Amino acid sequence: MQQIIFFFVRNKYFLLFALLFFISFVLTINSHTYHKSKVVTSANFLSGGIYSIKSSITDYFDLHQQNMTLTEENNRLRTLLFNSGMMDSEMALDSMVLDSNYTFVTAQVINNSYSKTKNNLTLNRGSNDSLKIDMGVISPQGVVGIVVSLSKNYASVQSILNSNSQVVAKFKKSNHFGTLVWDGKQPNIVQLIEIPRLASVVLGDTIVTDGKSTIFPPGIMIGKVHNFDRNEGDDYYDINIELFTDMTSVKHVYLVSQRDAPEIKELEKTVEDVEQ
């Protein structure tokens, strides 16, 4: 017994180090595998608060560019609206609100990273603004990421530039779909994998989200084909996609939620359970 106590006393620093290192290691592994059960995130009052103070100061520096981006988006949406013929009837607007499957919440990015292999963003909205885990985040130009953790007033978003991130995407022209992943190299290039060789791929083809995953509505812009490659005998293409969103300067974003998402998920879950 005495020997055990002596052992602990003699090695107390090493044991303390080993314990704390073990905790950090578990937290790290945790963040690499189960992204939804993260323990330590920037969505809390301390880091969220400090980031929003910082953001309220630095917002002014790129105000001009942000205004341009939003004006361009307004322009695009206005074109859509006028050409769809919905503009003159106010009734259409009313019924749209009642019947819309997708609802949007606006938010501002208060912290952004793009230089690591696992990047995250922090938003100034949280569960008080009816945000939910797994909501899709889009910018005026395209897809940004997925909400992975929430506090009352802040949300942490897994960026599309995160090696854990997987988004279902398809060709706008042909509906061939694959998975969008990131190799961690360039902040404007992501990879589209699992596109079968039957698909015809041309440089500059537009890639949009696929409605299958219930996170993003179908048809949200992602990017265009930058270059592609298929080895002889491979069944799938390796495609590099150039993102439409400039992830290094994203500021105003929208969060999408789908009214039917819980129902669809439940249905899919029952089917999976039956198959097992």
Partner 1 sequence: MWSNSVLVNIVRFITLILVQVLLLNHVNFLGYINPYIYPLFILIFPLKGNKGLLIFLSFILGLTIDMFEDSGGVHAAASVFIAWIRPVVLKYSFGVSYKLNTLKISTAPLSKQIIYIIIMVFFHHMMLFSMEIFNVNHILLILKSTLFSGIFSTIIMVISILLFSRKNI
Does 41 interact with partner 1 (rule: CB under 8 A)? yes
Does 61 interact with partner 1 (rule: CB under 8 A)? no
Q: Residue 24 or 79: which CB sits closer to partner 1?
A: 24
Our CA angle for 245, 249, 251, nearest 5°, is 90
Does 80 interact with partner 1 (rule: CB under 8 A)? no
Q: Residue 28 or 67: which CB sits closer to partner 1?
A: 28
Q: Residue 78 or 185: which CB sits closer to partner 1?
A: 185
Does 20 interact with partner 1 (rule: CB under 8 A)? yes
Q: Residue 20 or 267: which CB sits closer to partner 1?
A: 20
Binding mask 193-232 for partner 1 (x = CB under 8 A): ----------------------------------------
Smallest separation (angstroms) from partner 1 to the CB of 18:
9
Q: Residue 166 or 206: which CB sits closer to partner 1?
A: 166
Which of the ranges 30-38, 138-146, 194-202, 250-258 carries the binding residues for partner 1, by CB under 8 A? Answer: 30-38
Which of the ranges 29-37, 202-210, 227-235, 266-274 carries the binding residues for partner 1, by CB under 8 A? Answer: 29-37
Does 117 interact with partner 1 (rule: CB under 8 A)? yes
